[in-house]
Chains A and B, each alone.
Chain A
């Protein structure tokens, strides 16, 4: 069952001015309940714009966004309620912290959404646990934390409202590889254990491969391919346009194929890639044993 459905959505920034820029063009996309959908694409292709639509922060013109069966553009649909159900983590969310204490900041969302006092407390505790923040941190000032910790506090501030869909805009941008991986693991955990549907915008293909059930690839405001990672990365069309976007494992296989080796290119994870190369290599060895001076290929 799809929890979010986007139909023919377009959006133009600063319409009818000399600065007009079309950020989405006829985007249609659906997000299934319980899945992890990754949105990828080059800088400025409209990912953040698309994500803002999911929270009713900008109005589609034209097009519809349907969340849980109700069209959010319609009058009478409570945007506040929508925002509780669909949690949105902005690009560089650490800039939104403002409270005196970490716990206070995380509690902002639940309080605004009308949780009772006890509920707020337990939501904060749970969110901090979820994001791997030590309980001793709750009384510290968010401005005294490191960038990575601030990021986790900000994300905790969103998941504390217990959204059923979590939308993250480049959550690991600018983090060191270890923190990035820990963050990815926390997001996977949320999805697997709590059943939270996740929409994640990312520039790291290796992260995407690890986390995503489905991928939507954007370019210049439209979605040019969507499907499982294997499908998306092996389609010809995507290839021509987005070469540099392939995960490393995929580009390795493609390069090998171009040199005439019979590898399959629709494998994305690194383990599968190693298997494939090993299999092909042993295949070539067998063939070369027949002819004496077999061509040596890298």
Chain B
């Protein structure tokens, strides 16, 4: 019963690598910049560069590549669906088509005029394949980047980074500390909840609950004995937590100091400089390739 534990997205793997030692604020900004950059590129060939960037980064994380890849597993269905839908639904030159009474047929003619849309034909178009490929690459890169970030940055660091970045919004009334505290508590609760969930599922299974039931109604019924104890537990834990916080005189972020102050080092400046050059080069290249 540890199906819930196989999800590596959002998990933290402690270590002492280059990526682990970077300042979380820089990591977060670099992550955002790279993701935005990926969305600015419009050719899948160009996307290979950021992909390689993150592959190299994952070697710098000291975490086994296989482990990181396993984290991508849950998004594979989404990627496949996005790919198939895009390749079928984009208008353009059909390359692989199927018209109900006939068999499959191929076509390599992708330069002529776009043929009329045939309502009874299911066809993958050249443009669709291109676009589908592009979308999948983008998704893979974003997921890889996000999981690299969470794998090498502990939840505390993440919220510290967010709090410190949100502080720029304080003048316009953004409650930076409160948002960060809420996030860190929410993150902190995920493992607790999955643990409870797993225990409750096990307990109800040994009392005869059948989670592999066929009909949807039967399945829905099975959730009641799981969800009720889960909520009861969650409320109890939340109440305990608030009491514990009050008992330690928690009263918001004003005047609060940090045990571990974040400090930028050569790693952060070096990687930021590299990312700046990298993005500039990519944009230049894209602009250049468009103009010819």
Contact = CB atoms under 8 A, between A and B. Distances in A.
Contact of A90 (B63, B199, B210, B232): B199
A77 to B, nearest CB: 15
B232 A143 contact: yes
Contact of B67 (A17, A55, A90): A17
Contacts of B209: 108, 112
A95 B200 CA distance: 8
Contacts of A95: 196, 199-200, 203, 229, 232-233
Interface in B124-155: none
B208 A80 contact: yes
Contact of B208 (A57, A96, A143, A161): A161
Residue among B2, B63, B202 with max Cβ neighbours from chain A (10 Å): B202
Interface of B: 1-2, 5, 8, 13, 63, 66-67, 196, 199-200, 202-210, 224-226, 228-229, 232-233
B96 to A, nearest CB: 38
Contacts of A128: none
A281 B72 CA distance: 72
Contacts of B210: 80, 112
Given A80-B210, A112-B209, A18 B67 contact: yes
A97 B208 CA distance: 14
Given A17-B67, A96-B229, A113 B199 contact: no
**Interface footprint category on A:** 20 to 34
A41 interface: no
Contacts of B228: 98
A98 B67 contact: no
16 contacts: A16-B66, A17-B8, A17-B67, A18-B63, A52-B1, A52-B202, A58-B2, A80-B210, A83-B207, A88-B203, A90-B202, A98-B225, A98-B232, A108-B209, A112-B207, A161-B208
A68 B284 CA distance: 73
B204 A57 contact: no
B206 A55 contact: yes
A60 B245 CA distance: 42
Contacts of A55: 205-206
A146 to B, nearest CB: 15
A57 B226 CA distance: 16
Contacts, number: 75
A98 B202 contact: no
B208 A112 contact: yes
A84 interface: yes
Given A95-B196, A95-B229, A57 B13 contact: no
Interface string A14-58: 101110000000000000000000000000000000001001011
Contact of B206 (A14, A83, A97): A83
Residue among B1, B5, B67, B207 with max Cβ neighbours from chain A (10 Å): B207
Contacts of A16: 66-67
Nearest to A114: B208
Contact of A14 (B5, B199, B203): B5
A65 to B, nearest CB: 14
Contacts of B202: 52, 57, 90
Interface in A134-177: 143, 157-158, 161
A96 B200 contact: yes
Given A13-B2, A14-B5, A95-B233, A157 B207 contact: yes
A101 to B, nearest CB: 13
A278 to B, nearest CB: 47
Contact of A93 (B13, B203, B208): B203
B67 A57 contact: no
Nearest to B226: A98
Nearest to A87: B206
Given A17-B67, A18-B63, A96-B229, A161 B207 contact: yes
A88 B1 CA distance: 15
A16 B224 CA distance: 33
Contacts of B199: 90, 95
Nearest to B224: A98
Residue among A17, A97, A109 with max Cβ neighbours from chain B (10 Å): A17
Contact of A88 (B66, B206, B224): B206
